[in-house]
Amino acid sequence: MECLRRLSQAWQRIRHELNQVIVGQNEVLEELFVAMLSSGHALLVGVPGLAKTLMVRSLAQTLDLTFGRIQFTPDLMPADITGTEVLQEDRQTGQRLFQFRPGPVFVNVLLADEINRTPPKTQAALLEAMQERQVTAGGQRHVLPNPFFVLATQNPIEQEGTYPLPEAQLDRFLLQIRVDYPDAEEEFEILRQTNRAEPRQVSQVISASEWSEFQGLVRRIPVADYVLEYAMRLCRATRPQDASAPEQIRKYVQWGAGPRAGQALVMAAKARAAIHGQPVVGLEDLRALAPAVLRHRLLLRYTAEADSKSADDIVIELLDQIFSEKEPQPAVGGLWNVFKR
């Protein structure tokens, strides 16, 4: 319980530090932190000028993690990301050997800016790094730093000259986070902050050892069977081929979320419960994170576009149906003993 309390307090301090440089966007910041605490990757979708890069860089600074940024372009090659073999000559022996020169992917937090602007060959190189936490160059495998997170951005408006991410790579992102425009008060505060003589800086809140400890705590957060059942039912209900799928899913969805979506939902819910100081996962954690977990894992039919139905609309309607039943009473029993260590 002491570790859980320290994590909750650390998150409050991180929010305070981030609010020094980021106005609003509290839900986005929380989902980013949840994704990283769950050892997952996140895809931020929003128009330019909403401080997506600043969010990621500032969050990395509060966690004492190395940060790197790659601007994805159509001419970007896989070696530009992963690194390449360079021919080096030993001045003493005159022998020539190939030496691996690491690319910008060898950081703790990698910002993949406009990831959909690079061709599939380069996207595939990043896919190995995301899934295996390693890269292959010259037939040799090179392990990436631990921890390793990919926080990618994507512009939802400008699609000309882009390469849509394949479903296999989209599924590797734990969360797809929507970054919306600020409201009037927040935008006024943004404009007012531009008059400052010096920009504010964020301070480190969590050390590398504490971060590892907190990630281990999240993995130990217990989840009751009834919560797992709700997560399973929600994911299965997104599949039009499943008998439990409601009518709107059969009408609007071509392919639903797979088992990895359920794993992502449960893991993210554990992280959300932890940062809010809760020793067990509740249904409110599932409901809060379901749109971010599922919106990029649904392949919609043309009828959805014709009826102006987005993935979020479909997920919210599905949540209302799944959670309309009376919530069963959890039997936590000795789950508190998990935190006595």
Residue 290 CA: distances (Å) to CA of 172, 262, 297, 318: 16, 10, 11, 10
Amino acid (1-letter code) at residue 310: S
Tell me the per-residue pLDDT of 203-248, one tens digit each, with 9 for 90 and over.
888 888 888 899 999 999 999 999 999 999 999 999 999 888 889 8
Topology classification of domain 221-340: Helicase, Ruva Protein; domain 3 (1.10.8)
Is the per-residue pLDDT at 327 higher than 70?
Answer: no
Topology classification of domain 2-210: Rossmann fold (3.40.50)
Q: Distance between CA 149 and CA 172 in Å, rounded?
A: 11
User: Looking at residue 341, what is its pLDDT?
Assistant: 42
Q: pTM for this one?
A: 0.86
The domains of the chain are located at 2-210, 221-340
Mean per-residue pLDDT of the chain: 86
User: Looking at residue 3, what is its pLDDT?
Assistant: 86
Q: Distance between CA 34 and CA 267 in Å, rounded?
A: 9
Instruction: Give the residue-averaged pLDDT of 52-72.
Output: 89
User: Looking at residue 332, what is its pLDDT?
Assistant: 44
User: Looking at residue 284, what is its pLDDT?
Assistant: 92
Burial 202-226, CB ≥16 within 10 A → b, else e: beebbeeebbeebbebbeebbbbee
**Percentage, residues of the chain above pLDDT 70:** 94
Tell me the per-residue pLDDT of 180-209, one tens digit each, with 9 for 90 and over.
998 999 899 888 887 776 777 888 888 888
Is the per-residue pLDDT at 102 higher than 50?
Answer: yes
User: Looking at residue 334, what is its pLDDT?
Assistant: 45
Tell me the per-residue pLDDT of 1-36, one tens digit each, with 9 for 90 and over.
788 889 999 999 999 999 888 888 889 999 999 999
Is the per-residue pLDDT at 103 higher than 90?
Answer: no
User: Looking at residue 158, what is its pLDDT?
Assistant: 65
User: Looking at residue 135, what is its pLDDT?
Assistant: 86
